[in-house]
């Protein structure tokens, strides 16, 4: 079976309070873009799970796709094994949820290959166990995402009139490191409601004002090369519609189609 795991970007990301477990509550507006990893899954009779990728350091049992496959095989008592190969197109550590999207697509594919007949809600419950971005990656539609990625509300957000460009400085940003060193985000980026209203506008001049990310300041201070990339792009393309997605390092430019 062949399938694609699509990248996601955050049009809006606001950091709220910290939970007792050290994770932060977030408010986000997410969309899926056309950039995708390519997965190929084949059943095996030996009962083993094997995960390899085009980036050797991502192979093996630490890969999220391996972890979800191992969990599903154990919980649903599957005798067959599976070989999973992932051709990586989404930059690693780029804030585009590449690994999470791979894991989400693995859940979907194994549900079909192993004939588990899981409902969408059951697949979401599996996704929640392994990462905060995986549940959204199962939806793959514009959505408001709250909490630690576990509260998802699809929305009717039309961006067909805009062109989205992704720029990767090929810097592997650690999300955990960013949150441990989080700068004061205060409320200068406004509320979810205010920015969502702007993002829903058909007027680009209003839309671009809703593009906000509370993590930018911290990432730019921890990873100067990401800030250099942003500054270079700002000089070339202008600051309108230019922002960092997720915890970085990918810089996104959204402009009107011309």
CA distance 12 to 27: 8
Active site residue 133: yes
CA distance 15 to 24: 7
Contact between 39 and 51 (Cβ < 8 Å): no
Please give the biggest Cα pair distance in the chain.
Answer: 58
DSSP string, 115-146: T----HHHHHHHHHTT-SSHHHHHH-S-EEEE
Q: Check 37, 102, 133, 214 and give the catalytic one.
A: 133
CA distance 9 to 159: 13
Active site residue 8: yes
Contact between 41 and 82 (Cβ < 8 Å): yes
Residues with catalytic function: 8, 133
């Amino acid at each position: 079976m062949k399938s694609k795991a699509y990248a996601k970007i955050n049009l809006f990301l606001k950091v709220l309070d910290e939970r007792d477990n050290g994770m932060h509550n977030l408010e986000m507006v997410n969309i899926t873009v056309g950039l995708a990893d390519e997965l190929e899954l084949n059943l095996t009779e030996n009962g083993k799970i094997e995960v390899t990728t085009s980036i050797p350091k991502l192979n093996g049992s630490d890969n999220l796709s391996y972890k979800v496959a191992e969990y599903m095989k154990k919980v649903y008592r599957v005798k067959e094994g599976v070989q999973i190969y992932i051709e990586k197109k989404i930059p690693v550590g780029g804030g585009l949820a590449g690994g999470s999207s791979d894991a989400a697509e693995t859940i979907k594919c194994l549900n079909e290959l192993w004939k588990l007949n899981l409902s969408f809600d059951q697949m979401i419950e599996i996704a929640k166990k392994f990462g905060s971005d995986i549940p959204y990656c199962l939806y793959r539609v514009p959505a408001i995402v709250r909490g630690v990625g576990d509260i998802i509300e699809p929305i009717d957000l039309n961006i067909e009139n805009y062109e989205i460009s992704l720029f990767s400085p090929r810097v592997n940003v650690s999300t955990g490191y960013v949150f441990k060193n989080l700068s004061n985000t205060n409320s200068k980026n406004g509320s979810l409601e205010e920015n969502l209203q702007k993002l829903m506008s058909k007027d680009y001049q209003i839309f671009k004002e809703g593009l906000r990310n509370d993590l930018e300041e911290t990432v730019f201070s921890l990873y100067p090369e990401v800030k250099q990339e942003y500054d270079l792009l700002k000089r070339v393309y202008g600051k309108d519609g230019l922002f960092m997605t997720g915890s970085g390092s990918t810089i996104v430019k959204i402009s009107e189609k011309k």
